[in-house]
Structure 1
């Protein structure tokens, strides 16, 4: 089986947002790095996926200079980098063609946000027939405001709102939704056999 590691949206755009200080997983970057090092050592493909929103002027607009892999991580020259404009890594990129040409049949997913781009990519990959592993402690997310909360809440208002969905609950719901349906849910230690 040929495997590719998909590192999704671990980019400076997120770190520039005030919400970054609420990141649920302080081990995200070291855990992603462990997966990257293991994939390279095994000869697996490493694919860095970045999210861009051109022309918006926000932190995901490439013109702001923040749409690049987070500073502590670095793509190698043999790694593949794709830039997406949708929630999943397939719809607006050449990722599927790249994986097919490389003979990849299994993907391991990690990155930001657990329930958004990482989960969505895992679901689409499963639908495309890949064997999917979701490495839960190599993902990260943030508390989610209630859908009726006013737009533009500050971080303090978000955290004070009793309707806010805690990041731990977001992760648990994602694990329940994916496990046994779309992906094998594993920890970094379990995945690496440590």
Structure 2
């Protein structure tokens, strides 16, 4: 995979919230996804590229369930946080404006669950014209079959699937 331009690439991490990371997930546990996502976020920050965290809030409830915040220490100074109320990260969130304002034309995606929040966000991003890279080991699902279907059948039609170790940026923007 060629190196990405940090001035035109953003990292988008979906639903890395305490209660979601703690679920029984496959093909890898949420803690493994979190570690891979943190390494990738450090790579983006070092290159001066934007890091965006998306978390979900349930609409029309008086309080969110326990564990609805992003995992502690995941968000660093300068990162962006977007709150969604649907499966995907674009609908009524300002995400597209944020990414456009940052000059992003390529998105690297990771998070939980592969076939839900990540895939829904990716499909909307594709509709908006973004080039997509999927960090395969920075995502997981409720079942290995759901993850595999997205990674092997759907994502290759939408963009490039790569391990975190293969995703590099040119250097400081």
Band of TM-score, shorter chain: 0.7 to 0.9
Query: For the residues of structure 1 that align with 2:83 and 2:92, how far apart are their CA atoms?
Result: 8
Which consecutive unaligned segments of at least 5 residues does structure 2 have? Answer: none
Q: 1:183 aligns with which of 151, 159, 162?
A: 159
Cα deviation, 1:53-100, whole Å, max 9, x if unaligned, reads 03346xxx53x45221113x4212211111000111101200001111
Query: For the residues of structure 1 that align with 2:61 and 2:134, how far apart are their CA atoms?
Result: 31
Task: Indicate the residue corresponding to 1:44 in structure 2.
Answer: 49
Q: TM-score, normalised by structure 2?
A: 0.85
Q: TM-score, normalised by structure 1?
A: 0.76
Paired residues of 1:86 and 1:92 also in contact (CA < 8 A): no
Query: For the residues of structure 1 that align with 2:146 and 2:66, how far apart are their CA atoms?
Result: 29
Task: Indicate the residue corresponding to 2:112 in structure 1.
Answer: 112
Query: For the residues of structure 1 that align with 2:13 and 2:25, how far apart are their CA atoms?
Result: 21
Task: Indicate the residue corresponding to 1:7 in structure 2.
Answer: 13
Shift of 1:182: 1.0
Instruction: Count matched residues.
Output: 160
Which consecutive unaligned segments of at least 5 residues does structure 1 have? Answer: 143-166
Paired residues of 2:115 and 2:146 also in contact (CA < 8 A): yes
Over aligned residue pairs, what C-alpha RMSD do you find?
Answer: 1.8
Q: 1:35 aligns with which of 37, 40, 43?
A: 40
Matches within 5 A, 1:127-166: 127-142=127-142
Q: 2:146 aligns with which of 164, 170, 174?
A: 170
